[in-house]
């Protein structure tokens, strides 16, 4: 997503402002002042700070979409501050993750949310390709809400994977270990607010 400098200033001033809005407003005002004075470099520097703050807001909102652990499971993750700063402009790619662990055993699920199209969209498309699925007898198509997903399970390894395509805007991947089936992966994915994820990613 690309903006001209003037369009970015106009859009930024029209945005609903998050917590810390005074700081963002001050930076937008300063950027506008620099721009009016012909100091384009200074205006860009101020806007970069604003964009970073707004990305952080999106990051916090994306992290909030991750599901609460089901009964008998706990969740561990990086601090929100660590992860929210990784959110890029749409069109780039990044990853947020949380690890869920069964309280009474070794079972675990790594939940990953990857933003961006391109390569990530190719990964999801590959897993959802009927020919690829046919080559994996342990793969099955499942529905997660309104989204298409593919779940695989290896009984010998007791491991499974579930991939959800978010319409080219992002990909959700769940990787489980020490599982009795792929059901815990499907259950966790069903708890995810994927509609909100797509809204935040511009879907």
- Print pLDDT tens along the chain (203 aa): 444 455 444 444 444 444 445 788 888 999 999 999 999 999 999 999 888 888 788 888 999 999 999 999 999 865 544 554 454 444 455 789 999 999 988 999 999 998 865 555 556 666 666 666 666 778 888 999 989 899 999 999 999 999 998 887 888 999 999 999 999 999 999 999 999 999 998 86
CA angle, residues 19, 62, 149, in degrees to nearest 5: 165
For the beta sheet containing 159-165, the strands, ordered from the edge strand earlier in sequence to the opposite edge, are 73-77, 94-102, 108-115, 170-177, 159-165, 147-154, 139-144
pTM of the model: 0.72
Specify the pairing of strand 159-165 against strand 73-77. Answer: unpaired
Of 32, 26, 37, 25, the residue nearest 6 (C-alpha): 32
Does domain 68-200 fall under CATH 1.10.10? My reply is: no
Here the tokens at position 57 are 């807001």
Contact 88, 117 (CB under 8 A): no
């Amino acid at each position: 997503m690309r903006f001209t400098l003037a369009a970015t200033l106009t859009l930024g001033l029209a945005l609903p402002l998050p917590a810390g809005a005074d700081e963002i407003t001050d930076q937008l005002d300063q950027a506008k002042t620099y721009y009016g004075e012909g100091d384009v470099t200074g205006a860009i520097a101020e806007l970069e700070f604003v964009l970073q703050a707004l990305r952080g807001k999106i990051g916090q909102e994306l992290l909030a979409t991750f599901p609460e652990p089901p009964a008998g499971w706990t969740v561990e993750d990086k601090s929100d501050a660590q992860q929210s700063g990784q959110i890029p402009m749409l069109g780039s790619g990044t990853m947020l993750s949380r690890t869920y662990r069964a309280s009474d055993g070794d079972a675990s699920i790594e939940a990953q949310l990857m933003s961006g199209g391109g390569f990530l969209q190719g990964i999801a498309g590959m897993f959802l390709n009927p020919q690829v699925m046919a080559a994996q007898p342990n793969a099955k198509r499942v529905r997660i809400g309104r989204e298409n997903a593919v779940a695989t399970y290896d009984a010998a390894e007791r491991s499974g994977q579930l991939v959800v395509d978010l319409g080219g805007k992002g990909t959700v991947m769940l990787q489980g270990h020490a599982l009795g089936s792929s059901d815990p992966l499907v259950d966790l994915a069903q708890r995810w607010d994927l509609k909100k994820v797509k809204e935040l990613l511009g879907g």
